Structures are given as structure tokens and as C-alpha cells.
């Protein structure tokens, strides 16, 4: 009898594990399928606009690093998103424990959505404030990722593309992504902004970042200093000395104007892209592990200068 029960128990356990594994595999498979459809759609859409309106005409049909960037395209919404979520959870738990909030989901949720002067504003007003605040924080975190040698190790991966186009936007190290999102989300939640309003901007910012890298010559004429354009952002990626460490904003160039880093000449566009004095590997694995590698002291000195 006991043997039968043990066997039945083992059978049920085995079945449960099998269901869990299959459910996970099918969820992952569905996610990868969705991403596969998305990348084909994006290749068609941006392929067309970059073909008909190129900022820089390509000599070769296929640019360097396409395979590496396709891998990054699948890594960003899976691995990087997971790392970012985990980082935000850890920071929220630390803050909650310091604030004396119970460390269970309901108490933390109640704290994050507590009534404050800020959260009682109309949703639209909160949305505008969050939009500007997110870019203000992104401006400074981006600037720090350039100016601090330790942070530059991670951000240099993003700047390693020598041909900037829509697909090069996804080449972002997971810890660069997690670092930026943590410093964006935490202060706003602490101030009392609604987490749903904050999270609502993530898809928009992600899509806009993809478009900003597109190889198109658009700069929006009179709105060039108001909204970030592909030309504005590609100055940020140039190796031409006049554009180095300029144009950090992701959405509002006037942030750069306020903080003294705007560079947006009316009469020309940047022509060369990448990083000076540093060789980031071309492969996905090489780029993922690049920040953790030992490097010559001279290279550190160049960046620290
Ligand atoms: Zn940058």
C-alpha cells in the first residue's frame, strides 16, 4: 500500500514538474516567437525608411555586427529585462525595510501606491511630469556612464557600433540598462508618482530609442532643440571630436542646452561612428564580458582624463 502511495506521489510530482517545464518552455517559446515576428517587422519598416532616406549611403548591403545585434535584440527583453526587474525589486526591498514597511507584496504595493500630493494630481499632469523627470534622470545617468571610467566599461559596448542604425540601438549591456532604470524608477516612486504611470513610459521610450538610432537625416527643423531626432542622437555616437561627450538626452535636447552639452550644427551631419582609443570585441559574448575584463592601465588613464 505504502509503495503504491509513494509511486503515485512520485508520479504526481513528476507530472507537476513536467507541466511546469512544458509551461515554461511554451511561454519562453511564445515570447521568442513574438520577438521573432517583431524583429522581422522592424527589419522591413526600418529597412525601407533607411533605404529610401539614408543619412549615410551604405557601400555594402550588410553592415558589420548584424548577427551580434540580432542576439542583443533577443537578450534585451528577456535577460536584461529580468536583470532590471531583479535590481528594482532588491532596491525596493532595501528601501521598504529602511522605511519600516513590512516586506510582503501587499504592504510594498500599498506603500508604492500611497496617497501623496503628487499621486493625487490628474493622471495627465503626472504623466507630463514623469516624462520630463525620466529624461532628466536619464540625461544625468547617461552622462555619468560616459564620465566615470568604471561605468564607461558598460556603456562603451553601446558605443562600439561603427555603423549606427536602428538595430544598433539594442546593443546595450544588461547592467547599463538595469543601472539606468533603477535610478529612473526609484526616486519617482519615492516622491509618490504612480508606478503604473512610470512603467507606462517604458515601451514608448524603448521604441523611440530604436528610431533615434535609425540611419535617416531627419532633424525636425524648428523643433530640433525640442525633441530628440536621429541626427541629434547620431552626433552623440560620432568619433568626430566636436561631438564627443555631447547630446546625452534621450528625448529632450534642451536638457543638453541647459547643462552645457548640446551640439547640433544646422549645416551638417556626423559621418563616422564608434569609439576612439578602445577596441570593444565584435562578438556578443565578447561584449557581454567586456566590462569585467582586465585592461591596460593606459586605457583607464585615457578614459579618466
Ligand atoms: Zn552614450
In angstroms, the CA 60 to CA 35 distance is 26
Spacing, Cα 143 to ligand 1 middle (Å) = 7
Spacing, Cα 146 to ligand 1 middle (Å) = 6
Spacing, Cα 262 to ligand 1 middle (Å) = 13
220 to each of 36, 74, 217, 228, 273, how far by Cα in Å?
32, 31, 10, 9, 22
In angstroms, the CA 283 to CA 160 distance is 11
Handedness of CA 9, 10, 11, 17 (dihedral sign): positive
Spacing, Cα 237 to ligand 1 middle (Å) = 7
Spacing, Cα 82 to ligand 1 middle (Å) = 22
Q: Burial of 271 by CB count in 10 Å (0-12 exposed, 13-18 middle, 19+ buried)?
A: exposed
Which residues does residue 210 pair with via DSSP β-bridges, in sequence order? none
Q: What is the pLDDT along the chain (305 residues), one digit of tens a residue?
A: 666 667 777 777 777 777 777 777 777 788 888 888 899 999 899 999 998 999 888 777 778 899 999 999 999 999 999 999 999 888 888 888 888 888 888 888 888 788 888 888 888 898 999 999 999 999 999 999 999 999 999 999 999 999 999 999 999 999 999 999 999 988 998 888 888 888 888 889 999 999 999 999 999 999 999 999 999 999 999 999 988 999 999 999 999 999 999 999 998 899 999 999 888 999 999 999 999 987 765 465 555 54
Question: For every residue of 100-147, which 3-state class applies, written as one string?
Answer: CCCCCHHHHHHHHCCCCCCCCCCHHHHHHHHHHHHHHHHHHHHHHHHH
Spacing, Cα 273 to ligand 1 middle (Å) = 12
| pLDDT score for 74 | 93
Spacing, Cα 245 to ligand 1 middle (Å) = 8
In angstroms, the CA 272 to CA 239 distance is 6
In angstroms, the CA 271 to CA 235 distance is 9
Spacing, Cα 7 to ligand 1 middle (Å) = 59
| pLDDT score for 292 | 93
Model confidence, pTM: 0.84
In angstroms, the CA 193 to CA 180 distance is 18
Q: Give ∠ CA 294-300-302 in degrees, rounded to 5.
A: 145
Amino acid at each position: 500500500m505504502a509503495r503504491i502511495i509513494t509511486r503515485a506521489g512520485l508520479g504526481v510530482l513528476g507530472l507537476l514538474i513536467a507541466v511546469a517545464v512544458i509551461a515554461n518552455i511554451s511561454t519562453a517559446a511564445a515570447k521568442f516567437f513574438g520577438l521573432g515576428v517583431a524583429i522581422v517587422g522592424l527589419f522591413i519598416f526600418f529597412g525601407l525608411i533607411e533605404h529610401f532616406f539614408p543619412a549615410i549611403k551604405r557601400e555594402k548591403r550588410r553592415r558589420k555586427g548584424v548577427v551580434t545585434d540580432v542576439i542583443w535584440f533577443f537578450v534585451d527583453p528577456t535577460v536584461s529585462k529580468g536583470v532590471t526587474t531583479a535590481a528594482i525589486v532588491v532596491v525596493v526591498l532595501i528601501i521598504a525595510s529602511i522605511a519600516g514597511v513590512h516586506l510582503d507584496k501587499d504592504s510594498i504595493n500599498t506603500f508604492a501606491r500611497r496617497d501623496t500630493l503628487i499621486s493625487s494630481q490628474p493622471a495627465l499632469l503626472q504623466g507630463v511630469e514623469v516624462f520630463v523627470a525620466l529624461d532628466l534622470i536619464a540625461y544625468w545617468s547617461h552622462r555619468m556612464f560616459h564620465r566615470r571610467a568604471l561605468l564607461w566599461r558598460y556603456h562603451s559596448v553601446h558605443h562600439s557600433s561603427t555603423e549606427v542604425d536602428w538595430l544598433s540601438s539594442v546593443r546595450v549591456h544588461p547592467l547599463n540598462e538595469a543601472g539606468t532604470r533603477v535610478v529612473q524608477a526609484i526616486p519617482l516612486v519615492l516622491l509618490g508618482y504612480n508606478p503604473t504611470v512610470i512603467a507606462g513610459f517604458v515601451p514608448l521610450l524603448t521604441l523611440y530609442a530604436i528610431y533615434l538610432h535609425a540611419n535617416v537625416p531627419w532633424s525636425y527643423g524648428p523643433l530640433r532643440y525640442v525633441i530628440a531626432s536621429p541626427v541629434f542622437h547620431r552626433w552623440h555616437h560620432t568619433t568626430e571630436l566636436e561631438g564627443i561627450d555631447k547630446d546625452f538626452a534621450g528625448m529632450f535636447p534642451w536638457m543638453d542646452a541647459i547643462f552645457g552639452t548640446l551640439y547640433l550644427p544646422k549645416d551638417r551631419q556626423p559621418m563616422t561612428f564608434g569609439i576612439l582609443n578602445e577596441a570593444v570585441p565584435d562578438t556578443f559574448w565578447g561584449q557581454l564580458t567586456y566590462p569585467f575584463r582586465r585592461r591596460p592601465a593606459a586605457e583607464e588613464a585615457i578614459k579618466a582624463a
